[in-house]
Amino acid sequence: MNLNVIANPTGNIKSRIRKDKIYLGIIIVLSLITISPIILIISKLIIKGIRQINLSFFTETAPDTLEAMTALSNNEIIPGGILNGITGTIFMVLMASLMAIPVGILIGIFLYEKGEKRYANIIRDISDIMQGIPSIVLGLIAYLWIVKNITNGFSALAGSVSLAIMMLPLIIRSTEETLKMIPQTIKEAGFALGAPYHKIILKVLIPSSLSGLITGILLAISRILGETAPLMLTALGSPVVNFYADKPTSAVPLLIWEFYNDPNMVDLIWSSSLFLMGFVLTLNIISKRIAAKRK
Amino acid sequence: MILNNLEVENPVLSIKDLSVAYDKNAKNAVNAVSAEVKRNAITAIMGPSGCGKSTLLRAINRMHDLYPAIVTEGNIFLNGENINKISTIELRRKIGMVFQRPNPFPTMSIYDNVIAGYKLNGIRLKKEKRDHIVEESLKDVVLWDEVKDSLYKKGTFLSGGQQQRLCIARALAFQPDVILLDEPTSALDPVATSKVEDLLVKLKKKYSIVLVTHNMTQAARISDNSMFMYLGDLVEYGKTKSMFTTPQDQRTEEYLTGKFG
């Protein structure tokens, strides 16, 4: 045993405090490095995109090349907006949610209830594998199933099916994890009152985990909002606002891709990206808030 | 051999050769227990941790049915009727249960928690009837005066002791024949504990109470009859007074004098 340490505790404490400070410094530097990309991205988007964002950006559809070229040569702001993209995104995400949320929550409840059964394990594994399927492959599948066979052409329905398949595993897992956090005693309290099983799920388990379920849904939605690849093969894009499930539809990420391919519309890339990024960030912050509230 | 010096006339529950094992290869957690539970009295089940007292209690309202691996043998009769012949839904309305930790439904108000048994069973009542049940149940557990102005607040805002009394009110709302309590005061402070104990003594006029406790003094204070269990066996069952003064079995005596447990 080092008697010195006991005889002279202050010297030891000083070196400990020094080490502590060095460690803290390293952590701060590494954290700054970690968050710097998002700060750089957002600041770049704001600097380059904010000029285009005005009322008509949200109320008008995307301009054609000629309009953009004229505006550019006159040194004006490119006219038009991304209304067709915004409506298309909302339309398809809504349809995808209607398909994925009920199914996902039901499967999540099933996995929670039958967690140890072999059949449940298979389903859980499949859902994990689904999360890893490249989104372009899902686009191809939806193209084969829907575009080729059901709508006989590119359609919003095909787009939302591919997005729904992406959402499904996320919702299944978040539902199962949320339900697992409810104490077993709450469930037993329900059974001890003689309540039938489906009432306990509907009136006890789901309300108790509602904020967790909403968080999972919002995160799944923000995950699919920016998906481009599957939509290119399914929804294709459209210059007009469309609310028909069997017609081609635009989406914000699709518009960004189109703007990128048109040298006259480069400015619109930044404003559309800024919009998309803001949308996703807002959803993320809301879901974080909800998640924090339940703790 | 079980020392059972209790003659019970018209018992509310009679347990016959009940054995429970947590899976089919495991040792019995409750081993061939037979006992008769007196009506309108408090029956305490005591014993050291792991002696099977909670397992025995949970067999009475068939909570073990929730876990398919658990094997239950033997019979229990409620007012002479075999509980295995009654559906669990109906059985659990006749036998209420209160758990070790207060577990009010976190998303429901105090009012909804009391009436939860009806709501979860899909029984519709007129508002006056509902209000009456809620008021009576909360008065029964001496909680009415404390919460009558905040009936629509969440039950989880109450203190631990109040929450536990709320859970008892929830069990009373159905007017059950029997109330099972699984160490209801182990998560409570002494003041809240004494309130719950006073309440139980008051409630035995209307209900038959089975109380699991590992607190011997609690059993001595409030129970009429006591069972002492050890390693799954019912070692001794008798009037609380005589068991605490002149225990018949050496293990009971050692437990009561604090030699183990």
Query: Concatenated DSSP letters for A119-162?
Result: HHHHHHHHHHHHHHS-HHHHHHHHIIIIITTTSSS--HHHHHHH
Domain-located, residue A254: yes
CB pairs under 8 A between A and B: 75
Please tell me whether residue A43 adopts helix, strand or coil conformation: helix
> E-assigned strands of chain B?
3-4, 13-21, 28-37, 42-46, 71-78, 81-82, 95-98, 178-182, 208-212, 225-230, 233-239
Q: How many residues does chain B have?
A: 261
Domain B3-104+176-256: give its CATH superfamily.
P-loop containing nucleotide triphosphate hydrolases (3.40.50.300)
**Given A188, A207, A210, which is nearest B63 (Cβ)?**
A188
Write the residue in A183, A203, A210 that is nearest to B120 by C-beta.
A203
Positive or negative, the CA dihedral A258, A264, A268, A269 is positive
* CA A56/CA A79 separation, integer angstroms: 8
Q: Identify whether A75 is part of a domain.
A: no
Flag if B92 and A210 touch (Cβ within 8 Å).
Answer: no
CATH of the domain at A230: 1.10.3720.10
In a domain, A70, yes or no: no
What residue of B is the nearest CA neighbor of A208? B107
Q: What percent of chain A has a predicted confidence (pLDDT) above 70?
A: 96
pLDDT for A294 equals: 63
Among chain B residues, the shortest Cα distance to A188 is held by B63
Please state, in angstroms and rounded to a whole number, the distance separating the CA atoms of residues B90 and A204: 19
β-bridge mates for residue B236, sequence order? B3, B228
| Helices A9-49 & A266-293 angle (0-180, nearest 10) | 140
- Looking at residue B157, its pLDDT comes to 87
Contact flag B121-A193 (C-beta cutoff 8 Å) = yes
User: A188 and chain B: CB distance < 8 Å anywhere?
Assistant: yes
pLDDT at position B111, please?
A: 95
Q: What is the pLDDT of residues A119-159, one digit of tens each?
A: 889 999 999 999 999 999 999 999 999 999 999 999 999 99
Q: Record the tokens describing residue A96, joined without a space.
A: 């995808």
Farthest CA pair distance, chain B: 56
Collect all residues of chain A within an 8 Å Cβ-Cβ radius of residue B113: none
Nearest neighbour of B103 by CB, restricted to A186, A195, A210: A186
Q: With the C-alpha atoms ordered B132, B137, B143, B147, is the resulting torsion angle positive or negative?
A: negative
Environment class of residue A203 by beta-carbon count within 10 Å: exposed (0-12), middle (13-18) or buried (19+)?
buried
CA dist., res. B192 & res. B35, Å (int)? 31
The reported pLDDT for the residue numbered B221 is 92
Residue A56 lies in a domain: no
Q: Cβ B121–A199 below 8 Å, yes or no?
A: yes
Say if CB B114 and CB B155 are below 8 A apart: no
Q: Kindly list the residues from chain A whose CB atom is less than 8 angstroms away from the CB atom of residue B89.
A: 194-196
pLDDT digits (tens, 9 = 90+) for B12-60: 999 999 999 998 888 899 999 999 999 999 999 999 888 999 999 999 9
Residue B4, pLDDT above cutoff 70: no
Is the distance from CB of A275 to CB of A264 less than 8 angstroms? no
Contact of A224 with A136, CB cutoff 8 Å: no
Q: Which residues of A touch B119 (CB under 8 A)?
A: 203
Q: Which backbone phi and psi does A44 adopt, to 5 degrees?
A: -60, -45
pLDDT at residue B99 in the model: 92
Distance CA B62, CA B83 (A): 8
Average pLDDT along chain A: 90
List beta partners, residue B72: B20
**What pLDDT digit, counting tens, does each position of B152-206 carry?**
998 888 998 899 999 999 999 989 999 999 999 988 889 889 989 999 999 999 9
Task: Give the tens place of pLDDT for each residue, A45-64.
Answer: 999 999 888 888 899 998 88
Length of chain A: 295
Q: Within an 8 Å CB–CB cutoff, is residue B96 touching chain A?
A: yes
What are the pLDDT digits (tens) for B147-159?
Answer: 989 999 988 889 9
AA identity, residue B2: I
Chain B residues 143-172 with a CB less than 8 Å from chain A: 167, 170-171
Cα separation, B166 vs B132, in Å, equals 16
What confidence category does residue A4 fall into, taking pLDDT thresholds of 50, 70 and 90?
low
B230 Cα to chain A: minimum distance (Å): 25
Confidence band for A65, pLDDT divided at 50, 70 and 90: confident
Alpha-carbon torsion B112, B117, B119, B124, what sign? negative
Q: How far apart are CA A112 and CA A124, in angstroms?
A: 10
Q: Tell me whether residues A204 and B103 touch, CB distance under 8 A.
A: no
Q: Are strands B13-21 and B208-212 parallel, antiparallel or unpaired?
A: unpaired
What dihedral do alpha carbons B19, A189, B99, B55 form, nearest 10°?
Answer: 10
**B120/A191 CB distance under 8 A:** no
Residue B5 confidence (pLDDT): 61
What's the pLDDT band for A7 if we cut at 50, 70, 90?
A: low
Q: How many CB atoms lie within 10 A of CB A98?
A: 12
Q: Enumerate the residues of chain B whose CB falls inside 8 A of the CB of residue A183.
A: 103
Among candidates A186, A188, A203 on the partner chain, residue whose Cβ is nearest the Cβ of B119 = A203
pLDDT tens digits along B203-261: 999 999 999 998 888 999 999 999 999 999 999 999 999 889 988 888 888 888 887 76
Which has the closest alpha carbon to A107: A168, A184, A160, A181? Answer: A168
Q: Is residue A4 assigned to a domain?
A: no
- Kindly give the residue spans of alpha helices, DSSP state H, lying in chain A: 3-7, 9-49, 55-59, 65-73, 83-113, 118-132, 135-142, 156-180, 184-192, 197-199, 206-208, 210-225, 229-234, 252-260, 266-293
Domain count, chain A: 1
Domain assignment present for residue A59? The answer is no
- Do B78 and B91 contact (CB within 8 A), yes or no? yes
Domain that holds residue A259: 83-293
Q: Answer whether residue A16 is part of any domain.
A: no
Could you give the C-alpha distances from A264 to A232, B16, B101, B217, B228, in angstroms and in order? Answer: 21, 88, 68, 87, 88
Are the beta carbons of A193 and B91 separated by less than 8 Å?
no
Q: Which residue of A has its CA nearest to B91?
A: A194
**With 50 as the cut, is the pLDDT of residue B1 above it?**
no
Q: Average pLDDT, stretch A220-224?
A: 93
Residue A58 lies in a domain: no
**Percentage, residues of chain B above pLDDT 90:** 66
Q: What's residue A216's pLDDT?
A: 92
pLDDT tens, A98-109?
A: 999 999 999 999
